[in-house]
Amino acid sequence: MRIAVLDDDLLLLEQIKGTLECHHHVCHTYADGTSLLKALRHDTFDLLIVDWHLPDMEGTEVVQTVRDMSGMQLPILFITRRNDERDVVEALSRGADDFMSKPLRMGELVDRITALLRRAYPESMGARMTFGAYCFDADKRSLSVHGQPIELKHREYELALFMFRNAGRLLSRTHLREAVWGDSAETPSRSLDTHMSRLRTKLELTENNGYTISAIYGMGYRLDPVGAPALHRAPGQQRAATTETLSG
């Protein structure tokens, strides 16, 4: 999973980053709230870890702003040296999903993150997954639509599975390239666009089949179940129609 960590303690940031990467997560670190909020304008994550006291604002302000931007889908873990009951209540009331007091125990941190991710993304845990007419078998690396097998190349399958596991969520281009190609810096942006276009055609992603795929200008892509609201929109997306249906 893709995790962002916000804390002004650079040594702790490196410790958390190393721990999460050992557990096969991709970790991005930020030392102030402004930097994280700026990143969230064009990028997406699966989970946030937020410190309370920051050099430019309070962590509670960051959490509240993230909730206004992204809704309640994105899990947030609050970390702080404060541990009074009223502090826990305030953090949770502002939109945090869980709370840990410093000094952090890395084993407990990993367990709490795993629990939050499991609750937020239960569809990512199974080997055989069905999404309407689309049936994935992760063990066999196969996909069928209306019972008919679809031939997909390696990256096409990985991208299709990732999109369906995150149906309804807006996913940034960097998020997608990291998840499917591994190293986003070495993946041409056009390659992602080409793969998305191929998937739309091969999987017949239309309203008749229950899913449509959209390109979000300046952000990334979203696979939407027909008739269901999106779970994650970029800032201002609620007010401005910036969604473009991906053409074949």
- Provide the CATH number for the domain around residue 206: 1.10.10.10
End position of a domain, from candidates 120, 141, 159: 120
What's the mean per-residue pLDDT of the chain? 87
Structure tokens at 25: 């997560």
Instruction: Assign 239 a pLDDT band (cuts: 50, 70, 90).
Output: very low
Q: Are residues 116 and 140 in the same domain?
A: no
% of the chain with per-residue pLDDT over 70: 86
Q: Are residues 74 and 105 in the same domain?
A: yes
Q: Are residues 82 and 12 in the same domain?
A: yes
Kindly report the CATH number assigned to the domain that includes residue 53. Answer: 3.40.50.2300
Q: Are residues 167 and 222 in the same domain?
A: yes
- Position 70: which residue type? S
Task: Write the DSSP string, 122-185.
Answer: GGGS-SEEEETTEEEETTTTEEEETTEE----HHHHHHHHHHHHTTTBEEEHHHHHHHHHS-GG
Q: Are residues 112 and 21 in the same domain?
A: yes
CA 47, CA 36: separation in Å to the nearest integer? 13
Q: What number is the average pLDDT over the span 190-214?
A: 94
End position of a domain, from candidates 70, 97, 120: 120
Nearest CA to 189 out of 169, 163, 219, 233 is that of 219
Q: Are residues 154 and 184 in the same domain?
A: yes
Q: What number is the average pLDDT over the span 38-65?
A: 94
Helix (H, G, I), strand (E, B) or coil at 96: coil
Q: Are residues 95 and 152 in the same domain?
A: no
Structure tokens at 74: 């994105």
Q: Are residues 108 and 140 in the same domain?
A: no
- For residue 225, list its beta bridge partners: 211
Q: Which helix (H) or strand (E) holds 216?
A: strand 211-216
- CA torsion 183-188-190-196 (nearest 10°) is -20
pLDDT in tens, 118-128: 998 876 555 68
Domain that holds residue 220: 125-245
pLDDT in tens, 138-189: 888 999 999 999 999 999 999 999 999 999 999 999 999 999 998 655 566 6
Least confident of 39-43, 50-54, 175-179, 243-247: 243-247
Instruction: Assign 13 a pLDDT band (cuts: 50, 70, 90).
Output: very high
What is the number of domains present in the chain?
Answer: 2
Does residue 165 contact residue 123 with C-beta atoms inside 8 Å?
Answer: yes
CA 122, CA 155: separation in Å to the nearest integer? 23
Q: Are residues 201 and 99 in the same domain?
A: no
pLDDT above 70 (res 64): yes
Q: Are residues 63 and 143 in the same domain?
A: no
Q: Are residues 138 and 116 in the same domain?
A: no
Q: Are residues 13 and 77 in the same domain?
A: yes
End position of a domain, from candidates 69, 102, 120: 120
